[in-house]
Amino acid sequence: MARLIVKNISHCYDRTAAQALDAVSFSVEQGQRLCIAGANGSGKSTLLHIIASCVKPSSGEISIENEGGAKGRAGIVFQEPDNQLFMPTVWEDVAFGIIKKGANPEEARERALAALAEVDAAHLAERAPHNLSGGEKQRAALAGALIMERDILLLDEPTAALDPRARKNLINLLKNQRRTTIIASHDLDMALELADRVIFLHQGRIAADCPVPGLLLDEDFLQTIALELPLAVCGTFRKTHSKVRFSSAQTP
């Protein structure tokens, strides 16, 4: 668990491009589950990469304080899990970080199997990571982040490749842990189910910062930042869904 302070972060990937982030400031209290929501290109991944120290911002500061008041660290699961899977087998990939930190191979293997079991992926332990399906890769990458027990867990579109059961299991797993968690996503249904708070990014700026459900239920606001209502609160979905059920019941 840890506290994060993001102070006036701006970022430009190159001089000719528009700013990916523009004066973004917020703080996250220990144990909070924050969703960073926004349309494609709004700056979500850039923000997570900066918090994880993978990208140095053009300006501004990040500080992470752990429970003891010391400097804390964030662990990230990338939007493209291929970026973090490179060992011959899945379990070795999951164990890579703790082996580097000094765990012996036997203990590391046991802990890797336990982390894989947490994301319902124990059966993938001996597989080659590059042969996995998209959702399997996402689970393996998540196990690799969980095992590190970092102060803050950063997840970039963690449900994008998951099937409905894996998505539900992930939501339950995240709900049942006390770690400070930041999730970048346009899956507003997940935000509704899982997050305490949501920050909406629009063109690199914070458009709103509110407790959940708050603006997740405000269709007019969501449309101004190119998002749509979550399906769970969207009347069109219910109507369409009942029509489909009705017509299939009529078909012999």
Ligand X SMILES: Nc1ncnc2c1ncn2[C@@H]1O[C@H](COP(=O)(O)OP(=O)(O)OP(=O)(O)O)[C@@H](O)[C@H]1O
Where do contacts with ligand X occur on this chain (CB under 6 A)?
Answer: 13, 17, 20, 38, 40-46, 79, 186
Structure tokens at 108: 């590391």
The neighbour count for residue 165, using CB atoms within 10 Å, is: 9
Work out what residue 230 binds among Mg ion, ligand X, none; the CB cut-off runs from 5 to 8 Å by kind: none
Place of tokens 């458009």: 207
Q: Smallest gap, in angstroms, from Cβ of residue 179 to Mg ion? A: 21
Place of tokens 């319902």: 120
**Is residue 32 at the binding interface for Mg ion, with CB under 5 A as the rule?**
no
Q: Which residues of 191-203 are buried (b: 16+ CB within 10 A; e: fewer)?
A: bbbbbebbbbbbb
Q: How far is CA 168 from CA 111, 154, 190, in A?
A: 23, 18, 9
Structure tokens at 132: 């996995």
Nearer to ligand X (CB atom), residue 20 or residue 85: 20
Eight-class DSSP state of 242: H
Q: Smallest gap, in angstroms, from Cβ of residue 198 to ligand X? A: 14
Nearer to ligand X (CB atom), residue 20 or residue 142: 20
Q: Smallest gap, in angstroms, from Cβ of residue 16 to Mg ion? A: 21
Using CB under 5 A as the binding criterion, the count of chain residues that bind Mg ion stands at 3
Nearer to ligand X (CB atom), residue 78 or residue 96: 78
Work out what residue 40 binds among ligand X, Mg ion, none; the CB cut-off runs from 5 to 8 Å by kind: ligand X
Work out what residue 43 binds among Mg ion, ligand X, none; the CB cut-off runs from 5 to 8 Å by kind: ligand X
Nearer to Mg ion (CB atom), residue 111 or residue 186: 186
Q: What residues between 55 and 94 interact with Mg ion by CB under 5 A?
A: 79
Work out what residue 84 binds among ligand X, Mg ion, none; the CB cut-off runs from 5 to 8 Å by kind: none
Nearer to ligand X (CB atom), residue 37 or residue 90: 37
Q: How far apart are the first and last CA of the chain?
A: 56
Given candidates 32, 45, 84, 181, which one binds Mg ion under the rule CB under 5 A?
45
Place of tokens 């918090």: 51
What is the spatial distance between Cα 215 and Cα 173, in angstroms, rounded to a whole number?
25
Q: Which long-range contacts (CB under 8 A, 24 or more apart) does 44-47 make?
A: 44/156, 44/184, 44/185, 44/201, 45/79, 45/156, 45/184, 46/11, 46/20, 46/21, 46/204, 47/6, 47/9, 47/21, 47/184, 47/201
Q: Smallest gap, in angstroms, from Cβ of residue 170 to ligand X? A: 18
Nearer to ligand X (CB atom), residue 115 or residue 162: 162
Q: Smallest gap, in angstroms, from Cβ of residue 44 to Mg ion? A: 5
Residues forming contacts to Mg ion in the complex (CB under 5 A) are: 44-45, 79
